[in-house]
């Protein structure tokens, strides 16, 4: 797999006028960084034209229309010259990349970011997520090692691509009938990605996303096409579930028990197992009695029953998380009546482009201008995730009375509250119900262009903020005894997120079973390896989730690079297996726990799927994303105990 930073680019054949028109849609800060690459002139980012970043503010970094015109004129000249045969100058130095990083984020960052960006731009010609040193090992050694990947979603596909490139045999086991994971499973109306699509894509496969946040069918097609193009479907057993995985200490191998849809079983033996099962796919049902009594239609958002026509129906929706937030406004358009039961309102961030198409000019720039897509992606990485981290970190000196945890957090709270007030248009009762009473960042922040609030203000939509007491044969009864009858109940009540790898039975050394070992409190080292479970590697494992809307694909790319690095260690040393050292794992988890308590999602006292039943944050990575990138670049052999076959 040879990839380069500019592989996705198409040659420029556009006329001067077409280039000029496309530039009207340019993201100016990204264009300025691209201009440094194209012209070799560092002064583009050293002059008076600079972005000033306000989160959830102006995409152009408040660069004035006159200054934007100046940049566009310069870009027009440079792109026409490129079309007419000009060559790209030598790539910028690491020091200049650091400067460009500081320019686009409007602050001085640590050199780790420059190093990350230098790699992402592939200026040294290296794929930043390729495992280090695997291709130096004899092909026979690589071919003699076999891996089982559980799940053919985003992470499983990625693991397959990387193993294939490394010449390591693998099989993917997928319980569904096709690839795509969450994007295959979730088909509810209105489903779309809620991280910016230009970061929610593999680093090696930029896509021409039709929207800034594309709908589910587009995402499903992206993963389907990726799996097809890399020939992964031929490596996948569909309609097959891993029921059990057992580590054989003598042979240093894993034995998997697979079950097909028809109930037949078979065994699979491999050297390693990569769990790519995701966190959000096993439905969670509300903890109220009576669900089985309801005599109408009912289903969970992730198991949408499309055979039912909802036109004119009386529908009850339980939950106001990310899923309900997307499907409730859609069903309200056809339903007779929709009553939504809200336990905790979500914070909403104003994102006017949430449903917008990417304009033609921006498509052209992303596809034709060298390094523009990379800097645009980095700008999303910063503005939608990394840059927000400071605003969700606790200031011990701040007294926000459980409404905010720092001055910066309070500022965001005020901005979001103003946005909600604007959308309520004077409806004080609605405003009272929908403004959260907990700090921003304690639960997932939902992106909004006003769609949710417009739905809540429809005549046929009612928001109930009283707890649900029980479900009856005809509907829902709330705590004060009010009964709501309905034809349909839709559960938007989320997933069994903190039951990692459940319901598989996984047995490690000495026959220890994973769920029993975790005892409801899953932990792993870097979210990837677990002491006592050699050669079991997790993607999207414990503490690898994010609250501010970064991209889980970023995490998976780091994890898969690390996992292949671990396999490299085994092959290089001629070992059968590696087992994470308990002291390393424990020290890491202590630090993670302490840091999570400093963050909004750990500090606040509010129900969230980021915490397990014991109140520990099992889901989230509390540090900057770039830290995960650096920590997982290559495994440190001293973190592991190596086991040899026969002596394991
Ligand atoms: P969720 O965020 O866990 O939301 C579940 C909702 O059900 C919450 O509002 C919860 O209230 C409510 N609930 C649970 N039990 C209840 C009860 N007994 N009575 C009343 N309400 C009850 O689940 P989700 O919306 O499916 O989203 C899960 C995660 O999936 C998201 O956070 C996100 O990471 C991901 N997701 C992503 C996308 C996307 O990218 N497009 C879309 C959907 C989901 P409380 O808040 O009080 O617990």
- Nearest Cα residue to atom 11 of ligand 1: 343
Tell how far the Cα of 14 is from the centroid of ligand 1, in angstroms: 46
Which atom of ligand 1 lies at the shortest distance from residue 280's CA? 30
**Helix/strand/coil (H/E/C) assignment for every residue in 209-266:** CCECCCEHHHHHHHHHHHHHHCCCHHHEECCEEEEEEEEECCCCEEEEEEEECCCCEE
Q: How far apart are CA 544 and CA 47, in angstroms?
A: 39
Relative to beta strand 236-237, strand 240-248 is unpaired
Tell how far the Cα of 318 is from the centroid of ligand 1, in angstroms: 9
Beta bridge partner(s), residue 150: 173, 275
368 backbone dihedrals φ, ψ, rounded to 5°: -125, -20
Relative to beta strand 475-478, strand 348-350 is unpaired
Q: How far apart are CA 182 and CA 581, in angstroms?
A: 32
Q: How far apart are CA 205 and CA 229, in angstroms?
A: 11
Which atom of ligand 1 lies at the shortest distance from residue 194's CA? 40
Which atom of ligand 1 lies at the shortest distance from residue 491's CA? 7
Tell how far the Cα of 326 is from the centroid of ligand 1, in angstroms: 11
Q: Judge contact between 20 and 377, C-beta under 8 A.
A: no
pLDDT number for residue 2:
54
CA 223 to chain CA centroid, Å, is 14
pLDDT number for residue 437:
95
pLDDT number for residue 648:
47
Beta bridge partner(s), residue 242: 258
- Nearest Cα residue to atom 15 of ligand 1: 286
CA-closest candidate to residue 619, choices 600, 601, 594, 632: 601
> Domains of the chain, with CATH numbers?
16-108+361-386 (no CATH), 134-282+497-643 (3.50.50.60), 291-353+393-491 (3.50.50.60)
What are the tens digits of pLDDT across the range 23-67? 999 999 999 999 999 999 999 999 999 999 988 888 899 999 999
pLDDT number for residue 54:
85
Q: How far apart are CA 238 and CA 232, in angstroms?
A: 11
Tell how far the Cα of 372 is from the centroid of ligand 1, in angstroms: 36
Tell how far the Cα of 344 is from the centroid of ligand 1, in angstroms: 10
Tell how far the Cα of 158 is from the centroid of ligand 1, in angstroms: 27
Maximum separation of any 2 CA atoms in the chain, in Å: 76
Q: How far apart are CA 484 and CA 494, in angstroms?
A: 22
Q: How far apart are CA 519 and CA 379, in angstroms?
A: 41
Beta bridge partner(s), residue 525: 529
- Nearest Cα residue to atom 24 of ligand 1: 494
Relative to beta strand 337-341, strand 461-464 is parallel
Q: How far apart are CA 590 and CA 580, in angstroms?
A: 16
- DSSP secondary-structure letter at 615? S
- Residue ranges of alpha helices (H) inside 425-548 are 428-434, 451-456, 514-518
Q: What is the DSSP string of 95-161?
A: HHHHHHHHHHHTSPPPHHHHHHHHHHTTTTS--TTSPSSGGGS-HHHHHT--EEEE--SHHHHHHHH
- Nearest Cα residue to atom 23 of ligand 1: 494
Tell how far the Cα of 38 is from the centroid of ligand 1, in angstroms: 45
Beta bridge partner(s), residue 270: 254
Q: How far apart are CA 548 and CA 195, in angstroms?
A: 9
CA-closest candidate to residue 252, choices 509, 52, 602: 509
Relative to beta strand 468-471, strand 475-478 is antiparallel
Tell how far the Cα of 490 is from the centroid of ligand 1, in angstroms: 12
Beta-carbon contacts of 607 under 8 Å, excluding residues fewer than 6 positions away, are: 343, 344
Q: How far apart are CA 489 and CA 477, in angstroms?
A: 12
Tell how far the Cα of 58 is from the centroid of ligand 1, in angstroms: 29
Q: Judge contact between 190 and 252, C-beta under 8 A.
A: no
Q: Judge contact between 62 and 110, C-beta under 8 A.
A: no
Q: Judge contact between 341 and 490, C-beta under 8 A.
A: no
R_g over Cα of the chain = 25
Q: How far apart are CA 271 and CA 390, in angstroms?
A: 42
pLDDT number for residue 6:
82
- Nearest Cα residue to atom 33 of ligand 1: 322
Q: How far apart are CA 144 and CA 146, in angstroms?
A: 7
Which positions of the chain have pLDDT values less than 50? Answer: 648
The b/e string for 80-93 (b: 16+ C-beta within 10 A; e otherwise) is bebbeeeeeeebbe
Tell how far the Cα of 544 is from the centroid of ligand 1, in angstroms: 18
CA 590 to chain CA centroid, Å, is 24
Which atom of ligand 1 lies at the shortest distance from residue 606's CA? 47
Please choose from 318, 493, 610, 617 the residue to mutate so as to test ligand 1's pocket, defined by most ligand atoms within 8 A of CB: 493
Q: Judge contact between 159 and 276, C-beta under 8 A.
A: yes
Q: How far apart are CA 217 and CA 486, in angstroms?
A: 30
Q: How far apart are CA 479 and CA 356, in angstroms?
A: 40
Beta bridge partner(s), residue 470: 477
User: What residue ranges line ligand 1, CB within 6 angstroms?
Assistant: 192-194, 280, 286-288, 301, 318-324, 326, 341, 343-344, 444, 468, 492-495, 607, 609
Beta-carbon contacts of 224 under 8 Å, excluding residues fewer than 6 positions away, are: 178, 179, 180
Q: How far apart are CA 74 and CA 377, in angstroms?
A: 22
Beta-carbon contacts of 552 under 8 Å, excluding residues fewer than 6 positions away, are: 154, 195, 200, 540, 544, 545, 546
Relative to beta strand 240-248, strand 253-260 is antiparallel
* Beta-carbon count within 10 A of 230 CB: 18
- Full-model pTM: 0.96
23 backbone dihedrals φ, ψ, rounded to 5°: -65, -20
């Amino acid at each position: 797999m040879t990839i380069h930073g500019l592989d996705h680019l198409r040659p420029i054949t556009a006329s001067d006028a077409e280039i000029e028109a496309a530039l009207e849609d340019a993201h100016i800060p990204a264009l300025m960084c691209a201009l440094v690459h194209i012209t070799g002139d560092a002064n583009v980012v050293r002059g008076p034209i600079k972005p000033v970043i306000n989160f959830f503010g102006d995409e152009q970094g408040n660069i004035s229309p006159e200054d934007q015109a100046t940049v566009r004129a310069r870009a027009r000249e440079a792109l026409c010259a490129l079309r007419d045969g000009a060559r790209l100058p030598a790539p910028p130095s690491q020091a200049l990349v650091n400067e460009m990083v500081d320019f686009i984020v409007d602050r001085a960052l640590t050199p780790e970011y420059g190093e990350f960006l230098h790699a992402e731009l592939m200026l040294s010609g290296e794929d930043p997520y390729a495992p280090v040193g695997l291709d130096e090992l004899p092909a026979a050694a690589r071919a003699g090692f076999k891996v089982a990947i559980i799940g053919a979603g985003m992470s499983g596909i990625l693991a397959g691509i990387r193993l294939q490139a490394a010449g390591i045999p693998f099989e993917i086991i997928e319980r569904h009938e096709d690839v795509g994971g969450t994007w295959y499973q979730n088909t509810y109306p209105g489903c779309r990605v809620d991280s910016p699509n230009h970061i929610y894509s593999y680093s090696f496969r930029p896509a021409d996303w039709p929207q800034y946040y594309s709908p589910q069918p587009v995402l499903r097609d992206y993963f389907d096409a990726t799996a097809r193009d890399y020939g992964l479907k031929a490596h996948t057993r569909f309609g097959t579930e891993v029921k059990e995985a057992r580590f054989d200490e003598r042979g240093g191998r894993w034995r998997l028990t697979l079950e097909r849809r028809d109930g037949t079983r078979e065994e699979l033996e491999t050297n390693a197992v990569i769990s790519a099962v995701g966190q959000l796919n096993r439905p969670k049902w509300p903890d109220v009695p009576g669900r089985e009594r309801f005599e109408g239609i009912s289903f969970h958002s992730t198991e949408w029953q499309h055979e039912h026509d909802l036109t004119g129906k009386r529908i009850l929706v339980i939950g106001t998380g990310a899923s309900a937030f997307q499907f409730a406004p859609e069903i309200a358009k056809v339903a007779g009546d929709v009553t939504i039961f809200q336990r905790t309102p979500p914070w909403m961030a104003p994102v006017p482009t949430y449903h917008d198409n990417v304009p033609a000019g921006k498509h052209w720039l992303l596809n034709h201008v060298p390094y523009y897509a990379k800097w645009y992606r980095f700008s999303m990485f910063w503005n939608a995730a990394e840059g927000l981290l400071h605003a969700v970190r606790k200031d011990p000196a701040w007294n926000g009375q459980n409404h905010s945890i720092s001055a910066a957090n309070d500022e965001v709270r005020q901005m979001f509250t103003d946005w909600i007030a604007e959308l309520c248009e004077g409806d004080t009762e609605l405003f009272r119900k929908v403004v959260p009473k907990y700090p921003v960042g304690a639960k997932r922040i939902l992106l909004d262009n006003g769609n949710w609030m417009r739905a809540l203000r429809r005549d046929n939509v009612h928001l109930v903020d009283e707890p649900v007491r029980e479900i009856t044969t005809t509907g829902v009864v709330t705590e004060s005894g009010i009964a709501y009858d309905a034809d349909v109940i839709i559960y938007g009540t989320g997933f069994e997120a903190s039951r990692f790898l459940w319901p598989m039975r996984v047995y490690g050394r000495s026959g220890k079973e994973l769920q029993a070992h975790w005892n409801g409190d899953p932990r792993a080292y870097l979210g990837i390896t677990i002491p006592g479970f050699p050669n079991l590697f997790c993607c999207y494992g414990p503490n690898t989730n994010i609250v501010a809307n970064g991209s889980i694909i970023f995490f998976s790319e780091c994890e898969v690079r690390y996992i292949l690095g671990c396999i490299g260690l085994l092959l290089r040393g001629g070992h059968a297996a590696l087992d994470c050292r308990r002291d390393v794992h424990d020290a890491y988890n202590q630090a993670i726990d302490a840091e999570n308590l400093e963050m909004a999602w750990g500090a606040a006292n509010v129900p969230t799927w980021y915490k397990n039943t014991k109140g520990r944050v099992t889901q989230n990575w509390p540090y900057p994303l770039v830290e995960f990138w650096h920590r997982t670049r290559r495994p440190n052999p001293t973190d592991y105990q190596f086991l040899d076959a026969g002596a394991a």
